[in-house]
Amino acid sequence: MRLLFLMRDLLPPFRPDVSVLFGRELLRLGVRSDLLGQAQQAGGKLEWAAGEVWVHGRHAGGMLGEVLRPLRDLAMVHRLRSDHRLIQVRDKIRTGWLARWYCRLRGRCFVYWMSFPMAEGYAVRAEQLTGHAPAPLIWLHRLKAAAAHRLFYRHVAPHARHVFVQSEAMLEHMVARGVPRERMSAVPMGVDAAMLAAVEPLAEPERPPAWSGRRLIGYLGALGRARDPEFLLHALAALREQEPTALLLLAGDAPSDEERRWFRERIAASGLAEHVHLTGWLPQAEALRWLACAELAWSPVPRGPLFDVSSPTKAVEYLGLGLPCVGNDIPDQKLVLERSGGGLCVPMTPQAFAEASLVLLRDANQAKHMGEAGKRWVREHRDYAVLARQVAAVYRRLCEGRAELESMK
């Protein structure tokens, strides 16, 4: 089985729900995926074990690049004249609309992969600009958000043979907007459970001397403004009132230079600089080794229209490492923590995070039990090998249905 996968993310793919799920686990099940999109850098052949990669230039910013991208996608698909029975579009609304009609004319099966609510993202961006940008630019973003919302919910998602979404909350969100439940599947973010099980914490000589005698709290991932990283500092301050030896390990960084400067200024202004260890961006394997030194880990995710339908990766990564997790009540994260027994789900307030952390720091047996339960649950439910079997079953059902229709003609 082969599918043509039109990517919004720049190639080569780096997100695990593509690189691991499609690049390895689905390939093991006989599902090959050929990628089409734009490259991060010009030149050089892109390696992709699961199939071919077709690139139509580098990422082009600005208004012209925005307009041309879906047209270039369609032109490349038409030029290839491939025999893919399934054409799948990821997070590209206008490309999805064009692909829908192309598939209808060519007798192909159109599938949409929704890892992020793009239309809602445009609306949030317009609101963020309000009061900080010229009025014409704000209205342009509002118009873009309204057009994307109408196009996606009326002319793309309802006409796809199948829509993959990222969480049960996102599935319910789509049902409320008229997409039939039976034509959707939730595929949450997963982990490579075998890889996490093999992670070895930093050896004692590798650990910073400042860690000696400290209770280490971990956090893995992005620290951009949208994720409210100042909350971590407030929670640490609240925790240190009862546990003065607490030290916060931040294995990650902000996505831009401006945000990196801003967050470092916030750490300095908080008076907690001696109690925060910020590693900056690290290769995944190295970041996990640092994180595995922690006693527990935090996963605060701000509530709102974007994150409420998300599937946070960090919580399942913590559990896969055997770390008990303190996280807030984002729907998918709440589901993971409650079903796994691998952590505590609390409101996103500094005091609630501090109190939950104290429970685990003061009861080593409970923390150990949660770590073991979380690791076991992740292996059984969120390993990409498990998720791949579910996705492959949907693809086979779609192909069998298409073959049956063709045989009836």
Top mean pLDDT of 11-15, 131-135, 233-237, 401-405 is at: 233-237
Q: Which CATH class is domain 193-381?
A: alpha beta
**What are the domain boundaries of the chain?**
2-190+384-408, 193-381
* Section 120-142 average pLDDT: 92
Instruction: Please state, in angstroms and rounded to a whole number, the distance separating the CA atoms of residues 235 and 248.
Output: 10
Sign of CA dihedral 92, 98, 104, 108: negative
pTM of the model: 0.93
* Section 103-115 average pLDDT: 96
Instruction: Indicate whether 311 pLDDT > 50.
Output: yes
pLDDT for 408: 46
Do the beta carbons of residue 230 and residue 267 sit within 8 Å?
no
Band of pLDDT at residue 63, cut at 50, 70 and 90: low
Backbone phi, psi, residue 12, to 5°: -75, 155
Instruction: Indicate whether 94 pLDDT > 60.
Output: yes
pLDDT for 82: 83
Q: Which residues contact 199 (CB under 8 A, 6 or more apart)?
A: 285, 288, 289, 292, 321
Strand partners, 145: none
Instruction: Indicate whether 357 pLDDT > 90.
Output: yes
Percent of the chain at pLDDT above 90? 89
Instruction: Indicate whether 44 pLDDT > 90.
Output: no
**Amino acid residing at 327:** G
Top mean pLDDT of 28-42, 118-132, 180-194 is at: 180-194
2-190+384-408: CATH topology: Rossmann fold (3.40.50)
Decide whether 2-190+384-408 matches 193-381 in CATH topology.
Answer: yes
**Both ends of the chain: CA-CA distance in Å?**
22
Instruction: Indicate whether 69 pLDDT > 50.
Output: yes
Instruction: Indicate whether 57 pLDDT > 80.
Output: no
Band of pLDDT at residue 185, cut at 50, 70 and 90: very high
Residue with tokens 């729900």: 17
Instruction: Indicate whether 170 pLDDT > 80.
Output: yes
Q: At what angle do helices 313-320 and 331-340 cross, to 10 degrees?
A: 20
Instruction: Indicate whether 252 pLDDT > 80.
Output: yes
pLDDT for 401: 75
pLDDT for 61: 60
Q: What is the pLDDT of residues 76-91, one digit of tens each?
A: 998 888 889 999 999 9
